[in-house]
Amino acid sequence: MRYTQLTDEHVKDMLGAIGVRTIEDLFSTIPTGLRLKRDLAIPKGVSEPQMLADASALAARNADGTKLACFLGGGSYDHFIPGLVDALAMQSEFLTAYTPYQAEASQGTLQAFFEFQTMICQLTGMEVANASLYEGATAAAEAVIIALNATGRSRVLVADNVHPDTRRVLTTYGEHRGFEVSTLPCKDGVVHENGLPRLLSELRTSVRADSAVPDVAAVIVQSPNFYGCVERLDRIIPLIQSAGALAIVATDPLASGLLKSPGALGADIVVGEGQPLGVPMQYGGPYLGFMATREEHLRRMPGRLVGMTKDREGRRGFCLTLQTREQHIKRERATSNICTNQGLLAMRAAVYMATLGKRGVAEVASQCFDKAHYAAERIASVPGFRLKFAAPFFKEFVVQCDKDVSKVLSACREKGMLAGTALNRLDPQSPAAADLKNCFLTAVTEKRTKDEIDALVDALRTA
Amino acid sequence: MNAIPKLQQSDFPLLFELGAPGLSALNLSPCDVPRADRAKAMPRELLAEAPPPLPEVGELDLVRHYTRLAHRCFSIDENFYPLGSCTMKYNPRINERVAAMPGFAGLHPHQDESDVQGLLELLYRLRCDLAEISGLAEVTLQPAAGAHGEMTGLMIINAYHRSRGQRRSKVLAPDSAHGTNPATCAVCGQQALTVKSRKDGRIDLDDLRTKMDDDVAALMITNPNTVGVFDAQIADVAEILHEKGAQLYLDGANMNAILGITRPGDFGVDVMHFNTHKTFSTPHGGGGPGAGPVAVAEHLRPFLPVPQVVRRADGSFGWDADRPKSIGKVRSFFGQIGVLVRAYVYIRSNGCDGLRDISEKAVLNANYLAAKLRHRYRTPFPPPYAHEFIMMPEFPGSDVTDLDVAKRLIDHGIHPPTMSFPIAHCLMIEPSETESKATLDRFVAAMLDIADEVERDPQIVRDAPHTMPVKRMDEVGAARKPVVRWRAGG
């Protein structure tokens, strides 16, 4: 068969060594009544050329976003991926190793993850980071659990301009894990700063009328937020912390090539979607979540963690560490059930960050910023189109048009452009949906050229 | 943080010890639009004064760094890797080739359904194939990993109980369960209770009956279980649970032993998750990404996460989010698409005939190893085994441990088996179906050789490994004063 390597002769010898007559005898522990007495209703196996032909036919029925000019964002971006990322991160030893439980035979992945943790700290401005989580939304949910455990409180506030998928995942986790999720309202695309202290104090009195202890464990804000706007973290974070809650900031890791990192502005936990760091869009996954925090929360952090240590002869080396936090040791006393990280994607992100380096990350961030601002200015100059929000932005922004947004977007699509994501479609239940009528979210990465941007502007003009 | 050990001549450099200020391996086209006025576009308080201090290394040195790191790892492509419970089988390269096709890898999750019909059809077919393999009614592809699938499954079970006006606070799992099972219960706010196993590795039905009451939401079980035994009483277990309205959850970690031979849905399971990186050979990638599709019985379908990939009446494919009883979303976007594409290619390349052959050969390989080794290493449970088995490295009168044996295997170029799970000081061995008889025989020879060494020269075993770039690590020191990042100047 396809990937097995035993000849009939081998099978005969092996059955003889075991002392049974047939392979069937090895399944004698499965009661006959429970066995499947037919073939699975799946077609018989196919050859490699046939499989490639079938898969290519399926792939051909998709409109490859990298061939279209992709201005879509909202958590997944068409950034340029240097050739080094595929060449180095996808080496067969990295691809086909498993979790580095055996340190001596895994120094390569261990060191690469240690370097990943360090570079995530450097980008986020935080003290410690883990070796990655599933993706951005669950990373935010895990950050909430840290905050619940650190504060002993049971409610979280989530800004309503945090990615809608993150908010939905927080709601799902909250219902089952037993924490309450409340919404922090926004105004003009950003967190309503004046509303925040009032809301925190209202919650304090409504939840714990008998106590002076506010019940809010954490406030989750995203910057740049889902609409692309950059939040005034320098003012918001102190407000959150003055209520004794932790400030959890979701961020775009590339933004810190230009903007102050959330850590530099005082965040307690920084999480995010690591896709911009060299991971293909691949229709939403697999990506990697990242998480960084202050040293005091190190032992509350979920997921794999690599530590630097010495071997018996004093040589520097690496091993998985603080495994006593994890499910396979702590079982029902673990605070997270996470087992695997996103090893291969952390490897991609590591190679990507190392390829860019200090100068490169500044260059990528700067080009995103310049191209997004050029595009925004040009689009806003088209009659019937305007920027929805006045707040500062990094690489994406919301456009409002006078015409039916779905018609505008499909007219651009016909010209080979993915112009943006219609916002009312994405989050129809949101209280903001009515206000976002005929709005779309447009992202401009360093990969987009002036010609592509100009073509987009022309397409919108004639749409 | 304690001080970082100084770089010795023999040490392998860190990225941060390479390169020089000003170097970068990035080579972008110059920016072709006017520079935006930063002072006008961004409050001064939010602009960084300097870029983050990432390493500064040139292209060739980066290539050498990561190539040398790759050479410092054991992997399936280079080593036999009989890591029990992890199903370290060969990862076919065609899967990589298909997943990297721009028609799959280059899609943005917000593209219109009409732009991604080929992918949606693939996902729909995979959803149906997994339902057929599980013998259950419907599958969600959304969960990000096995443990995430467990959590999703338990949320579905709890939503089902709530829909019947019940909140059940207890979840049972046998003492041999994977650690994720009880941890998942805790994450879902439930109490995990242990059910005893009998001496032969099967679940103790009397203990199960004692612990059953109306407050039990589910039993989480692995079958074949973690000691490598198919529990023939599984239908009775299901009946005991169902009598009290509780649900039977199957941890699909060991599906590699039963593909096309028996189906969880046919032996009474209500919910299960798959581990695509185990059973369907998506690369383990140094610890992920995996994917954890969840299959459920008919009565649990309304509670599956949204959105669900569906075939519409007109034959087109799309996402259905209109499921009012759904538990909601458990992750962003739609799932581990790149991993699911690989799983689809694996299932369709093998087909129904190949899938059954996988389990037959996986079971044959495990039983062959056990038969060849049991005269020197005690096997506490009676054969036949499923796709893995437990063996005890016991050396009366010697202080050589299971850990020493495991480390000595590294010198033979073999990755150690899983250790001390599910019983203390055992080795759990899972050869997988893709290994040749020659490799299995080489493993047998290595294990017998080590047993001889323990008698002849135990120190060589206690000091192993001898062939790796580093010796055994000070893991205790690493945990006492954790250094989880590099800092300039130590």
Mean pLDDT score, A91-116: 96
Per the structure, the complete domain to which residue B116 belongs is given by 94-349
Predicted pLDDT at B2: 44
CB proximity A105 to B under 8 Å? yes
Average pLDDT for chain A:
93
How many structural domains does chain B have? Answer: 2
Q: Which pLDDT tens digit goes with each residue over B178-188?
A: 888 888 888 88
Predicted pLDDT at A332: 72
CB proximity A414 to B under 8 Å? no
B37 belongs to a structural domain = no
In one-letter notation, the amino acid at residue A399 is V
Q: Specify the pairing of strand B138-140 against strand B294-296.
A: antiparallel
Which of B26, B19, B12, B489 has its CA nearest to residue A351?
B26
The three-class DSSP label of residue B129 is: helix
Tell me, rounded to whole angstroms, the distance of Cα B158 from its chain centroid.
24
Q: Do B275 and B146 belong together in one domain?
A: yes
> Is the CB of B355 less than 8 angstroms away from the CB of A40?
yes
Q: How far apart are CA B58 and CA B25, in angstroms?
A: 5
B281: left (phi over 0), alpha (psi -120 to 50) or beta: left
Examine the pLDDT at A85 and tell me if it is beyond 70: yes
> Is the CB of B332 less than 8 angstroms away from the CB of A339?
no
Predicted pLDDT at B3: 47
User: Which CATH architecture does the domain made up of A69-80+358-462 adopt?
Assistant: Alpha-Beta Complex (3.90)
Predicted pLDDT at A212: 47
Which of B307, B312, B470, B453 has its CA nearest to residue B393?
B453
Q: Do B165 and B113 belong together in one domain?
A: yes
Which of B482, B375, B393 has its CA nearest to residue B429?
B393
The three-class DSSP label of residue B339 is: helix
Which of A85, A395, A409, A74 has its CA nearest to residue B108?
A74
Q: Do B357 and B328 belong together in one domain?
A: no
At residue A340 the predicted structure's pLDDT band, cuts being 50, 70 and 90, is confident
| Residue of A46, A176, A329, A335 to mutate when probing chain B, most B C-beta within 10 A | A176
Average pLDDT for chain B:
95
Q: How many CB pairs under 8 A join A and B?
A: 722
| Residue of A98, A163, A315 to mutate when probing chain B, most B C-beta within 10 A | A98
HSE value, Cβ hemisphere, 13 Å, CA-based, for B55: 28
> Is the CB of B69 less than 8 angstroms away from the CB of A108?
yes
Which of A136, A131, A109 has its CA nearest to residue A120?
A131
Q: Which pLDDT tens digit goes with each residue over B3-27?
A: 455 555 557 899 999 999 999 999 9
Q: Do B278 and B358 belong together in one domain?
A: no
Mean pLDDT score, A109-126: 98
- Burial of B438 per CB tally in 10 Å (0-12, 13-18, 19+): exposed
Q: Do B251 and B149 belong together in one domain?
A: yes
Q: Which pLDDT tens digit goes with each residue over A132-168?
A: 999 999 999 999 999 999 999 999 999 999 999 999 9
Residue owning tokens 């509780």: B246
Cβ neighbours for A443, distance < 8 A, ≥ 6 positions apart: A71, A72, A73, A74, A77, A228, A372, A395, A396, A420
Q: How far apart are CA A264 and CA B476, in angstroms?
A: 32
B148 belongs to a structural domain = yes
CB proximity A53 to B under 8 Å? no
Closest residue to B147, CB basis, from A80, A178, A338: A338
Predicted pLDDT at B10: 59
User: Which CATH architecture does the domain made up of A85-352 adopt?
Assistant: 3-Layer(aba) Sandwich (3.40)
The CA-atom distances, in angstroms, between B417 and each of B230, B336, B427 are 20, 28, 6
At residue A201 the predicted structure's pLDDT band, cuts being 50, 70 and 90, is confident
Angle at A118 between CA B53 and CA A272, to 5 degrees: 95
Residue B365 is inside which H or E element, if any?
helix B337-373
Joined tokens for residue A311: 């071997």
Which of A15, A41, A47, A46 has its CA nearest to residue B361?
A15
> Is the CB of A298 less than 8 angstroms away from the CB of B335?
no
CATH code for the domain in which residue B120 is found? 3.40.640.10
Residue owning tokens 């971006």: A77
Q: What percent of chain B has pLDDT over 70?
A: 98
Q: Do B131 and B193 belong together in one domain?
A: yes
**Domain boundary pick from B319, B349, B379:** B349
Examine the pLDDT at B1 and tell me if it is beyond 70: no
Closest residue to B53, CB basis, from A5, A17, A122: A122
Q: Do B345 and B392 belong together in one domain?
A: no
The single-letter DSSP state of residue B189 is T
Q: Which of residues 391-410 of A touch B (CB under 8 A)?
A: 392
Q: Do B130 and B251 belong together in one domain?
A: yes
Chain A residue with the nearest C-alpha to that of B144: A134
Q: Do B308 and B378 belong together in one domain?
A: no
Neighbours of A111 (CB within 10 A): 26
- 3-class SS letters over chain A: CCCCCCCHHHHHHHHHHHCCCCHHHHHCCCCHHHECCCCCCCCECCCHHHHHHHHHHHHHCECCCCCCEECCCCCCCCCCCCHHHHHHHCCHHHHCCCCCCCHHHCHHHHHHHHHHHHHHHHHHCCCEECCCECCHHHHHHHHHHHHHHHHCCCEEEEECCCCHHHHHHHHHHHHHHCCEEEEECEECCEECCCHHHHHHHHHHHHHCCCCCCCCEEEEEEECCCCCCECCCHHHHHHHHHHCCCEEEEECCHHHHHCECCCCCCCCCEEEEECCCCCCCCHHHCCCCEEEEECHHHHHHCCCCCEEEEEECCCCEEEEECCHHHCHHHHHHHCCCCCCCCCHHHHHHHHHHHHHHHHHHHHHHHHHHHHHHHHHHHHHHCCCCEEECCCCCECCEEEEEECCCHHHHHHHHHHCCEECCEEHHHHCCCCCCCHHHCCEEEEECCCCCCHHHHHHHHHHHHHC
Q: How far apart are CA B204 and CA B219, in angstroms?
A: 13
Chain A residue with the nearest C-alpha to that of B142: A285
Q: How far apart are CA A376 and CA A371, in angstroms?
A: 8
Q: How far apart are CA A429 and CA B329, in angstroms?
A: 14
What is the ipTM for the molecules in this complex?
A: 0.96
CB A410 within 8 A of CB A268: no
Mean pLDDT score, B386-404: 95
Helices B437-456 and A8-18, interaxial angle, to 10°? 40
Kindly compute the dihedral angle of the four CA atoms of residues B356, B362, B367, B370, in this order, to the nearest 10 degrees.
-170
Q: With contacts defined as CB-CB under 8 Å, which chain A residues touch B2? A: none
Burial string for A341-367 (b: 16+ CB within 10 Å, else e) reads bbbbbbbbbbbbbbbbbbbbbbbbbbb
Q: With contacts defined as CB-CB under 8 Å, which chain A residues touch B155? A: 172, 176
**Domain boundary pick from B327, B349, B371:** B349
Chain B residue with the nearest C-alpha to that of A287: B336
Predicted pLDDT at A200: 81
**Domain boundary pick from B323, B349, B375:** B349
> Is the CB of A115 less than 8 angstroms away from the CB of B15?
yes
> Is the CB of A345 less than 8 angstroms away from the CB of B62?
no
Residue B94 is inside which H or E element, if any?
helix B93-99
Q: Do B156 and B301 belong together in one domain?
A: yes
B186 belongs to a structural domain = yes
Domain residues of chain A, as ranges? 69-80+358-462, 85-352
CB proximity A421 to B under 8 Å? yes
Neighbours of A385 (CB within 10 A): 21
Q: Which pLDDT tens digit goes with each residue over B24-82?
A: 999 999 999 999 999 999 999 999 999 999 999 999 999 999 999 999 999 999 999 99
Which of A85, A148, A75, A102 has its CA nearest to residue A356?
A85
| Residue of B332, B385, B419 to mutate when probing chain A, most A C-beta within 10 A | B332
Q: Do B253 and B377 belong together in one domain?
A: no
Predicted pLDDT at A333: 72
Phi, psi of B400 (to 5 degrees): -70, 135
Examine the pLDDT at B174 and tell me if it is beyond 70: yes
Predicted pLDDT at A430: 66
A65: left (phi over 0), alpha (psi -120 to 50) or beta: alpha
Predicted pLDDT at A205: 56
Q: Do B254 and B231 belong together in one domain?
A: yes
Neighbours of A132 (CB within 10 A): 32
Closest residue to B70, CB basis, from A4, A91, A128: A91
Q: Which pLDDT tens digit goes with each residue over A227-269?
A: 999 999 999 999 999 989 999 999 999 999 999 999 999 999 9
